[in-house]
Amino acid sequence: MNIGDQINVLRTEGERIAVAGGELALNALVPTCPGWIVKDLLTHIGTVHRWAAAIVGGALPYDPRKQDFQRIVGPTPHDDLLVDWVREGLLRLAAVLEAAPDDLQCWQVFPAQSSRRFWVRRQAHETTIHRVDAEQARGDEISPVGRDFAADGIDELLLGFHGRPSSRVRALRPSVLHIHATDLPPGRGDWYVHPTDTGPLVTFSEVESPHCVIEGPVELLYLALWNRLPFDDLAVHGDPALLHLWRNYSAVRWVDPVDV
């Protein structure tokens, strides 16, 4: 997907969060984020959008959570103003990303083709995943996720977040988890995850007799791998220990500061 398309996704998904937030009680539970209520979800997305806008807009070479995070994000508003605050942060972020130069260089969570491309992609997926959280809190069916966007989100998760030394998806014995999207063409819908004692390695060449295979539509794979849906609607074959490893240790967490 190109940058313009991903910024459009960011805007659309952010507005869906705001709409849901305006319809839900702030103390309603968010089932996909144990321990969170809707107020926590809105506060988080508004904070993350402002954090990302500050990094991109200021071309910051560091994570501002280490130094001046509160100044950048500002105070959390009164409950009655929280949804408007979320919308303001969304619009500011989208405008900053649109105006950013292609050769932008700034701090980012993991390596990417360019800093601008990294932040557009990261915030599009961040916002989409939390839109799913908002819909789950409202008890809705989950709005569709495009196939190309979902495949890109699996790439980001496996190669980006779990390409870092901090990934907890580790195993002492050699093993292979094959993730197969049944609705993508050959060569585009297969990821082979090799957990090691220092983190997972991801490859794309066919591995004969993988230890575990998870397959299904790419949208369901995307949401399950991001821990937003159970794996019940996907076909799982082979050693269940690898699925349990993913479920227990793959979650991406917002920490202060980011551990890269």
> Per residue in 139-165, pLDDT tens?
989 999 999 999 999 999 999 999 999
Instruction: Note whether 14 and 101 are within 8 A (CB).
Output: no
Whether residue 257 has pLDDT greater than 90: no
pTM for the predicted model, two decimal places: 0.95
Q: How confident is the model at residue 187 (pLDDT cuts 50, 70, 90)?
A: confident
In angstroms, the CA 194 to CA 191 distance is 10
| pLDDT given for residue 256 in this prediction | 54
Q: Please calculate the CA angle 256-152-228 and round it to the nearest 5 degrees.
A: 60
In angstroms, the CA 46 to CA 30 distance is 16
Q: Furthest-apart CA pair in the chain: how many Å?
A: 57
Amino acid (one-letter) located at 152: D
141 backbone dihedrals φ, ψ, rounded to 5°: -70, 150
